[in-house]
Amino acid sequence: MLRFQRYASSYAQSKILRRYPVGGVIHGYEVKRILPIPELKLTAVDLVHERTGSEHLHIDRDDKNNVFTIGFKTNPPDATGVPHILEHTTLCGSVKYPVRDPFFKMLNRSLANFMNAMTGPDYTLYPFSTTNKADFANLRDVYVDATYNPLLKPEDFYQEGWRLEHSDVANPRSDIVFKGVVYNEMKGQVSNANYHFWIQFHENIYPSLHNSGGDPQKITDLHYQDLVDFHSANYHPSNAKTFTYGNFPLEESLKRLNEEYVQFGKRHKSQKILLPVALKENTEVKTVGQADPMLPPERQLKTSMTWICGKPQDTYKTFLLRVLGNLLMDGHSSVLYQRLIESGMGLEFTVNSGVDSTSAANFITVGLQGVQDVEQFRQAVNDIFTEVADGPFNRQRIEAILQQLELSKKDHKSDFGLQLSCSLIPSWTNCVDPFESLLFDDVLARFREDLEKKGDSLFQDLIKKYILDKPCFLFTMQPSKDFALDLEIEEKERLAAKVSKLDENDKEVIYKRGLMLQEKQNAKEDLSSLPSLQVSDIPREEDTYAVTRPEPNVWSRVTDTNGICYLRAKIPLQNSIPQELYPYLPLFADSLTSLGTTTEEYSDIEDAMKLHTGGISSMIDVSADPITLRPHLHFRVSGWSLNSKTDHVFDIWKKLLLETDFERHSEKLKILIRSLASSNTSAVAESGHSFARGYASASFSTTRAIGESLTGVEQLQLINKLNGLLEDEELFRREVVDKLVELKKRIITSQGIEFFVTTDSDAMVQSLQNQISQFQSSLPDTVCRDGLDASQFPLLPSNHSVLINFPFQVHYSARSMPGVPYTHKDGAPLQVLANLLTFKYLHREIREKGGAYGGGANYSALDGMLNFFSYRDPHPLESLATFKGAGAHAIQDAHWAKPDLDEAKLSIFQKVDSPISRKSEGTSLFYSGVTDEMRQVRREQLLDVSKQDIDRVIETYLLNKPGVNAVVGPPIEGKTTPPEWQIKNL
């Protein structure tokens, strides 16, 4: 029995009951239950709208970052992507806001730090968060009208979903092709091997729950009327879950919703809870996917085993399953990791591995990438579960999991409300009581009590009930080198079939529709109906976070950390690393938290880390000097714990930095390299525009050139190369082990090391200074000065457009040009210019006309780079031409006025003033050298940018200035050819 009306001394019972009286009615909503949760400093309020039955969850919490979300249960009727396309088109204009794409236009009329919409397997969410009360009201009004009163115009369906259109809209003799934003978005998704594996797995284990995002082969079967009908059936208050969070008054949101719901009655909730396959016996499905060009042919196969384990409505049993999944699969000490990955049976777990409770059933899945013998894998998994069901569970690992849960509750997150919304609503739409999901301490208390009484049987019974000798879903994806080609052929055949059915009248309609759509896209709109904040709503004074330096090499920030201490250290590498070792720096940093020491396995270190700390990490960081743009290269290590356990952070740092043994653990080093190589292609498919942008900008910026070596295409090439020599012991030692040993000698030193601590008292700072001094004295005091000065790191050649060859269905493009340092007066107008180009020009040209999923311009203030990009783009060369002509458009055709500049400024300050976590306060000074004074000057410069400033920077930095182009994706026949194009194969 849940204790819905429990109270603690920190909560005034009478005050809560007065504000939210159970049984009381607030603007048509009856208060059904309230649940104070002192450990999370919140009160949950459950309300139901009397007229429509719509459910509302309010989280009352003293947090200025307020959240509003509308969610709908949207079971997809087929794989045409109708829920996804509806998500796009509802945001293309509504009765109250009859403008094209009010959602996108609100992005630069608001100070929201998050605005989006997302389609899940059987739900659709529309969330936003903002700290500004007027902004909250504006966005709430736009979201409510967009979802309940969308215009759903046919041209929006054609633009966002799919259409037949001439490749050259103005030429009726040009080829007819498929276009559409969602169509190209999902073609890009299919190019992501991890996504393709997951969606194929999900479609087969859950055939009743079709692909809600849309299968590109099926999207072109969707008709406009299907969209309208789906909205009518699903976007109704009776089928809605609404959510508010923060410190703004609940009454105002309920009043607005109640006003909207007057036009609706109550519907019977006919949305079925769809279930997966009924496994009466082992069921096997085999399919094919894209071969990974960065992996050897024999390590391409992916396979998984899945068991259905009850329903998420039983929140306690779901919690037990999650703990079990964590024990079995999470970390180096977990049995499945050791027996399946460390043994070399596979490269890493598949994307569907773990416990999944997001739909109407719980799954526990064990899957491997890079399997060579599927039957061996299956036998091994069954053997492991049999052994685990009879053997003891490590109590220390169980306690470590609980400690991690407790710590995560105490750790302040700036987007806590948004995370809560996105975690509660999906399961809520499948009848999981959100109050039960919030009872964190009650669940932990029950778990500890049951563990004490039942011991290991608590987990063993789960395994015996759901896994041992129970039907299993077996899923395997074989690689096909012709996968991309087959998809291309299928698309051509599908297109040809549709075109063959067109008569001359149809073709005339397509031609005129294309012209009409382009005319609408080009038309200047009256946006007066849209609400907007003003630049005057932006505070002129920057938020500051006082940082002190109790010692020359110790920086400290004292704030309310809820009893947690965050520790960071950085070691300068400015001239200590030879050029040939730069690409190995990320592998060195990754190795520290993967291998182990001379006397200890990493699994034991990791267990201690989880038991006593919130986590330890290490990385290589390169940043540009805010005054000179010179690169600053550092090795960074960080960790956090309760105030009482900071000694454990320093002890683990000491082990990892001083005792990591690359030679003794060379086999684990090989596992790490294989794992990195196995995920590279999917990483590029997910963020190809970032790789293209990084490569292009490395021709102008030394900082970006180093970054390209550390995290870009050149890093992918290195990992690919190292993955190919793992079987040659002598070569592996020479090319990998010896170089990491050399890096350790060059990196780990007490010379120049600096520390930044964030804690909650001056007394704690004093205590930490003693621990810091002891830690620093344990490090060697040697220092190497014979490396390459980071400022001398060579740029990439800038005389080519580059195509980085990947077998994707769409492309990603970028064009980069140099700007100025952070403190230069032209930096602010360049940043405003980038936003003007994005919102006033590139969105229309790249997305609406070109059909790319995304595109725009951004100005990296710290790196001093102006970058253009497109994302999942069917026409990358046209996008590059648009980027190249952006300066001429801005000067000759844009005619921007003060309101346009104001909107661009608002969009910039969404990020500038976005709430940050307590642990991040003041860190920009430590890591980037940006002082409060610099930030204040920059803020004033941004607020004061004029049209004259914009014109000046266009002339100086953009108009007829050289840039470098990069495209990620397959070669474009007859166009991306040498010598104009350099082809980079991985």
Residues marked active site are found at: 87, 160
Q: Which of 191, 260, 303 lies closest to 682, judged by CA?
A: 191
Other beta carbons less than 10 A from residue 918's beta carbon: 19
Place of tokens 């009381």: 24
Q: Is the dihedral of CA 924, 928, 932, 936 positive or negative?
A: negative
Q: How far apart are CA 589 and CA 941, in angstroms?
A: 38
CA–CA gap between residue 136 and residue 179 (Å, rounded): 35
- The whole-angstrom separation of Cα 138 and Cα 281 is 54
C-alpha closest to that of 250 among 523, 601, 16, 86: 16
Task: Give the amino acid at 117.
Answer: A
Helices (H), 712-761: 713-723, 729-732, 738-747
* Residue 876 tokens, joined: 């990358």
d(CA 817, CA 700): 7
Alpha-helical (H) ranges within 523-584 are none
Per residue, the 3-state secondary structure of 592-650, as one string, reads HCCCEECCCEHHHHHHHHHHHCCEEEEEEEEEECCCCCCEEEEEEEEEEEEHHHHHHHH
Cis peptide before 979 (omega within 30 of 0): yes
Query: Under a CB-based contact definition with an 8 Å cutoff, are residues 879 and 867 in contact?
Result: no
- Residue pair 622/707 in contact (Cβ under 8 Å)? The answer is yes
Pull the structure tokens for residue 481: 């080198």
8 A C-beta contact, residue 215 and residue 186: yes
The total number of residues shown for the chain amounts to 986
∠58-63-65 over CA atoms, to 5°? 90
- If DSSP codes are grouped into helix, strand and coil, which group holds residue 965? strand
To the nearest 10 degrees (0 to 180), the angle between helices 898-912 and 932-944 is 160
Tokens of 70: 């509308």
Residue whose token pair is 């995290």: 711
Cα(461)–Cα(856) distance, integer angstroms? 54
Cα separation, 89 vs 100, in Å, equals 10
Is residue 687 classed as helix, strand or coil in its secondary structure? coil
| Euclidean distance between CA atoms 160 and 119, whole angstroms | 14
Concatenated DSSP letters for 572-585? E-TTTS-GGGGGGH
The owner of tokens 């080009």 is 522
What kind and span of H or E run contains 126? Answer: strand 123-130
β-bridge partners, 49: 29
Structure tokens belonging to residue 948: 């004259």
The crossing angle, in degrees rounded to 10, of helices 666-686 and 688-697 is: 100
DSSP label of 67 = E
Contact 348, 675 (CB under 8 A): yes
- Report whether 286 contacts 197 (CB < 8 A): no
Cβ burial, residue 40 (10 Å; 0-12/13-18/19+):
middle
Sheet with strand 615-624: strands edge to edge: 548-551, 554-558, 754-759, 564-572, 631-642, 615-624
**What does the block give as tokens for 584?**
């190995």
